[in-house]
Amino acid sequence: MRPYFAKMSDFGKPLRENRIARSQQSRARLEAVEAEIAALRKARENVGIPAEKINERGAMTIWQRLDYLVEPGTWQPLHSLYNPEENEEGTTNVVDGLGKIAGRWAVIIGFDNKVLAGAWIPGQPENILRVTNLAKRLNIPLVWLVNCSGVKLPEQEQFYAGRRSSGTPFYRHAELEQAGIPVLAGIYGTNPAGGGYQGITPTILIAHKDANIAVGGAGIVSGMSPRGGFDAEGLEQLIAVTRDLKDRPPGRAETHYTETGFFTHVCDEEKGVLDGIKTYMRAIPAYDPMFFRVAEPAEPALPGGDLYHLLPFNQKETYVLEDILARLVDASEHMEFRPDYGPEIYTGLVKIDGMLVGVIGNRQGLLPPGYPEYANYPGIGGKLYRQGLIKMSEFVTHCGRDRLPVIWLQDTSGIDVGDAAEKAELLGLGSSLVYSIQQVDVPMMLVVLRKGSAAAHYIMGGPNANRQNAFTLGTAATEIYVMHGETAAVATYARRAVKDKDSGKPLAPIAEKMNEMARKYHETSRPAYCARHGFVDEIVDLKALRGYLKAFAGSVYQNPKSICPRHQMLLPRIIKG
């Protein structure tokens, strides 16, 4: 199959001088949002006790542990700004992402030991579930840096109980292990109760000498007050017990190494724990990337920095999707699937780090005259019409058959509406795409380049496709909402305006409400909001996007559950004709 993949068709056009001149303001606005996100990320890293104080106590921070553990240049953070319950701490108190350890990709997550000694807090269970789902979808190891003081007691009602609560990740660990996916844990600090289960449910447990894991920690071993209340005499007893337990907390390293043997290793140095994880990562089966490469890896022929001039910040400005994609994929080469059908959608095969990947994305701008073929009005990119919907379903199905992962590039205002669109079966074809995505079994990732809107955001591999969607990224130009705020305001208030007009009431109050609604839509759809509330798993700088694509492809092909020999793939043959 070398003739198919070694040299595909070149695509993407060089940046033109007048485009550079015209897009300076757009570039500045993209970079301003990226700077805002970077500042928020930095602030989140600095919450809690200063790193120096943690170091004075002889411990490393979660960030220092990650820095030592993960191979330089491979860390792709996720959920950096995720804080769906708007915690006062500004975090869900776990840090996670994709990174390479000992030459292998892993999903890595750790408690932030600078904040409440790594306590469970609101929003954290959902964060952890996203991470366990990610390891499952990519079929790669999950590495935990456990350092969990247990529940933040004053807020326990917000996350302790329920179907997707703090106990759910323990079952997810079992689910991963039963699927053959190892969970490695490096264990630090005091880990009572929930923290104890965080420590015990992984596959391999490597502990620091001062670590403990326990069913119950020192704080609760003395139990409830036997008198049904508290008084000075009872407190004297409590103080004595507490002093003793502070020196000898339950579940110490000596207990779980010598007595129970739960800990595989106990290390005197903090870094020894991380070295132990590296040792076990080396022992985990992983294909050498060359096994699945269809060509030598190559950087894009067109520079990634051009993206700042090609993706307009102004949502009304159109662009050429292929020019964006060509800056993200190996050698700026591709094989396009059905270029003469469904012009509002791009579908094609590309290489990422030498590995074959399917890509689906929205084209922008004017569509060829006569399209959509079922209506007497012109079509515009970003919308979905009959042929595009059919083409996406076909392509996803072929990718499933050929065991090819899929990257979605979304910038959509929705599916075409109206009587002609209904007669053209768009509702049924949208749901057919959902069915196609759900029936294949290949990992997918989504980049919401700009707009994610209406049902189109769901059906184009949205985060809701959570059986296949490994993760979703946004950019500085991302905005996600059911519809534009002004459209929503019209939909909400148009009939009321007619009524008020007919009854002689002033229209200014309704206009103000409409403006207020549009403002709210704007505020709740910006990149930082999307990241904080989990509409996306991370907002990524345009220049950093390719790193995530490489991490995705590398992870998918590290240990795939199912493979298709390249010489038995159908998609390349269908494209060739």
Partner 1 sequence: MAVDVNAPMSGRISEILCKVGDQVKFEDELMILEALKMENPIFAPADGKISEIKVAPGAMVESNQLLLVIE
d(CA 331, CA 318): 25
Q: Establish if 462 lies at the interface with partner 1 (CB under 8 A).
A: no
* Cβ nearer to partner 1, comparing 339 with 378: 378
Which of 3, 73, 223, 369 lies at the binding interface for partner 1 (CB under 8 A)?
Answer: 369
Helices (H), 6-108: 17-22, 24-45, 51-56, 62-69
| Residue from 194, 196, 251, 381 carrying the catalytic annotation | 194
Q: Establish if 380 lies at the interface with partner 1 (CB under 8 A).
A: yes
- Among 292, 248, 212, CA closest to 553: 292
Taking CB under 8 A as the binding criterion, the range among 89-97, 162-170, 288-296, 365-373 that sits at the site for partner 1 is 365-373
| 151 classed as catalytic | yes
Backbone angles phi, psi at 219, to 5 degrees: -65, -25
d(CA 212, CA 230): 29
| Residue from 108, 140, 143, 151 carrying the catalytic annotation | 151
Token pair, residue 221, equals 């071993």
Indicate the helix (H) or strand (E) that contains 267.
strand 265-267
Q: How far is the CB of 316 from partner 1 (least distance, A)?
A: 5
Instruction: Look up residue 14 and give its DSSP letter.
Output: P
Helices 124-138 + 545-556 axis angle, to 10: 60
Taking CB under 8 A as the binding criterion, the range among 348-356, 363-371, 420-428, 470-478 that sits at the site for partner 1 is 363-371
Token pair, residue 350, equals 């590309």
Q: Establish if 522 lies at the interface with partner 1 (CB under 8 A).
A: no
* Cβ nearer to partner 1, comparing 86 with 373: 373
Q: Establish if 509 lies at the interface with partner 1 (CB under 8 A).
A: no
Cis peptide bond prior to 303, omega within 30° of 0:
no
Buried/exposed code over 60-78 (b: 16+ C-beta within 10 A; e: otherwise): bbbbbbbeebbeeebbbbb
SS3 of 469, please?
strand
* Cβ nearer to partner 1, comparing 124 with 364: 364
Which of 1, 19, 220, 493 lies at the binding interface for partner 1 (CB under 8 A)?
Answer: 19
d(CA 407, CA 529): 23
Task: Give the type of residue at 132.
Answer: T
Q: Establish if 18 lies at the interface with partner 1 (CB under 8 A).
A: yes
DSSP β-ladder status, 212-214 and 333-336: unpaired
Q: Side-chain half-sphere of 163: how many Cα atoms within 13 Å?
A: 0
Q: Establish if 22 lies at the interface with partner 1 (CB under 8 A).
A: yes
| 455 classed as catalytic | yes
* Cβ nearer to partner 1, comparing 369 with 565: 369
Helices (H), 46-122: 51-56, 62-69
Q: Establish if 317 lies at the interface with partner 1 (CB under 8 A).
A: yes
C-beta separation of 344 from 355 below 8 A: no
d(CA 84, CA 288): 38
Q: Establish if 16 lies at the interface with partner 1 (CB under 8 A).
A: yes
Applying CB under 8 A, the site for partner 1 has a residue count of 17
Q: How far is the CB of 527 from partner 1 (least distance, A)?
A: 21
| Residue 535: Cβ within 10 Å count | 24
Which of 2, 163, 227, 316 lies at the binding interface for partner 1 (CB under 8 A)?
Answer: 316
Taking CB under 8 A as the binding criterion, the range among 28-36, 55-63, 82-90, 315-323 that sits at the site for partner 1 is 315-323
Taking CB under 8 A as the binding criterion, the range among 15-23, 201-209, 431-439, 498-506 that sits at the site for partner 1 is 15-23
Which of 113, 139, 212, 364 lies at the binding interface for partner 1 (CB under 8 A)?
Answer: 364
Taking CB under 8 A as the binding criterion, the range among 59-67, 122-130, 296-304, 377-385 that sits at the site for partner 1 is 377-385
Taking CB under 8 A as the binding criterion, the range among 72-80, 207-215, 236-244, 361-369 that sits at the site for partner 1 is 361-369
d(CA 134, CA 466): 9
Q: Side-chain half-sphere of 180: how many Cα atoms within 13 Å?
A: 8
Helices (H), 92-123: none
Token pair, residue 69, equals 């553990």
**Residues 528-567 contacting partner 1, CB under 8 A:** none
Q: Establish if 378 lies at the interface with partner 1 (CB under 8 A).
A: yes
Q: Establish if 366 lies at the interface with partner 1 (CB under 8 A).
A: yes
d(CA 453, CA 471): 18
Token pair, residue 277, equals 């994880």
d(CA 267, CA 272): 5
Q: x-or-dash pattern for partner 1, window 319-358, by CB under 8 A? A: ----------------------------------------
Q: Establish if 318 lies at the interface with partner 1 (CB under 8 A).
A: yes
Taking CB under 8 A as the binding criterion, the range among 234-242, 314-322, 507-515, 566-574 that sits at the site for partner 1 is 314-322
**Residues 34-63 contacting partner 1, CB under 8 A:** none
**Residues 383-442 contacting partner 1, CB under 8 A:** none
Q: How far is the CB of 272 from partner 1 (least distance, A)?
A: 58
Q: Establish if 13 lies at the interface with partner 1 (CB under 8 A).
A: yes
Q: How far is the CB of 519 from partner 1 (least distance, A)?
A: 20
| Residue from 214, 350, 415, 437 carrying the catalytic annotation | 415
C-beta separation of 47 from 114 below 8 A: yes
| 430 classed as catalytic | no
Token pair, residue 209, equals 């000498």
**Residues 84-103 contacting partner 1, CB under 8 A:** none
* Cβ nearer to partner 1, comparing 221 with 380: 380
Site for partner 1, rule CB under 8 A = 13, 16, 18-19, 22, 314, 316-318, 364-366, 369, 378, 380-382
Which amino acids are annotated catalytic?
A: 151, 194, 415, 455
